[in-house]
Amino acid sequence: MYKSWIIKASLLSLFVIALIVPLFNDYSDALKTGDDKDGVSVIKKVKEIPLHNVNLPEFSQIRDVKEKKKQFFAFLTPAIINENKRISQLRQQVLVIQEKLSSQQALSSQESQLVQALTTKYRVKHELKPIDKVAELVRRVDVVPQALVLVQAANESAWGTSRFARIGLNFFGIWCFKKGCGMVPNGRDEGLKHEVAAFQSVENAVQHYLFNINTNSAYHVFRTIREQLRQQNKPLSPQILATGLLPYSERGTDYVLEISDMIRHNQHYFTDYSE
């Protein structure tokens, strides 16, 4: 009789837990502490308000894995295609300028202004000779394959379910360093001041990611690999380029291998992965 009572009590506890736990799944990871009426310290779960007005799909509610992947990729793909297209058009202008300098032709005032503007924007050394300056711009003003962008976004945002993706449209784990520029990580070590950047649109998030890959000194190897593929007239294979992303994560080689595996396993979702 006693054992039977214990079993019934245990089953009742499990039933109550099963009812309560889902209630917290819709809330963010942010925690606040406070005092109840008796002065006892309690922990309260609070819902974070999104820092954007985008109608973001509820990816966490999609139970079918294939459907979740399909919707996630479809959600991000237009912004990636548009930004890569914009960069490609700009790159063509830079290539024309490079050809003119190589054949010792004078640049128009508009072309010279473009070189100066891009030199500043893409963080190229102004003291370089014009031909070297433009050569560095050719290295930097280039696309990142759609499949690689999508897979990194999936990996960094847990398929769009992370707090940073939901609250700040940050699908790429991008940091910022001004107070109030984004979201404070819950597990940030004492003394550190970085935040996780927040964006107002998916387009803005994708632009920032591509710009970071194309300018940050950490991804010099990535840009070198891409340049070599261009010079050999080979497609920009996302799996080959992934090897240049070693600094993107503290996990290093394990991260690169995981990204490569994700590209292989999800190829049938990509409309084109060889920009």
pLDDT-based confidence at 6, cuts 50/70/90? very low
Question: For residue 18, is pLDDT > 90?
Answer: no
CA dist., res. 262 & res. 152, Å (int): 9
Question: For residue 217, is pLDDT > 90?
Answer: yes
pLDDT for 117 equals 98
Domain-located, residue 248: yes
Q: Which residue has the higher pLDDT, 123 or 270?
A: 123
- Each residue of 221-273: pLDDT tens digit? 999 999 999 999 999 999 999 999 999 999 999 999 999 999 999 998 886 43
Domain-located, residue 161: yes
The whole-number average pLDDT for the span 201-205 is 96
Contact 122, 87 (CB under 8 A): no
Domain-located, residue 215: yes
Query: Greatest CA span in the chain, whole angstroms?
Result: 98
CA dist., res. 14 & res. 144, Å (int): 49
The whole-number average pLDDT for the span 114-141 is 97
Q: Which residue has the higher pLDDT, 117 or 12?
A: 117
Lowest mean pLDDT among 20-24, 106-110, 162-166: 20-24
CA dist., res. 223 & res. 142, Å (int): 9
Q: Domain limits at 177? A: 59-269
Q: Pairing between strand 175-176 and 195-197?
A: antiparallel
Domain-located, residue 15: no
Domain-located, residue 45: no
CA dist 69 to 66, 153, 220, 226, Å? 5, 11, 31, 27
CA dist 26 to 23, 34, 85, 190, 231, Å? 7, 21, 37, 28, 49
- Each residue of 28-75: pLDDT tens digit? 333 333 334 344 444 445 577 866 778 889 999 999 999 999 999 999
Helix (H) or strand (E) holding 2: helix 2-25
Domain-located, residue 4: no
Domain-located, residue 49: no
Phi, psi dihedral angles at 165 (to 5 degrees): -70, -45
CA dist., res. 67 & res. 39, Å (int): 48
Question: For residue 188, is pLDDT > 80?
Answer: no
Contact 201, 169 (CB under 8 A): yes
**What is the tally of structural domains in the chain?**
1
Phi, psi dihedral angles at 45 (to 5 degrees): -90, 125
Orientation of helix 220-231 relative to helix 202-215, angle to 10°: 80
Orientation of helix 146-157 relative to helix 253-265, angle to 10°: 120
Residue whose entry in the numeric block shows the structure tokens 């502490």: 33
Domain-located, residue 2: no
pTM, entire model: 0.79
Burial 83-98 (b: 16+ CB within 10 A, else e): bbeebeeebebbeebb
- Each residue of 168-182: pLDDT tens digit? 999 998 978 777 676
- Each residue of 65-117: pLDDT tens digit? 999 999 999 999 999 999 999 999 999 999 999 999 999 999 999 999 999 99
pLDDT for 20 equals 35
Question: For residue 150, is pLDDT > 50?
Answer: yes
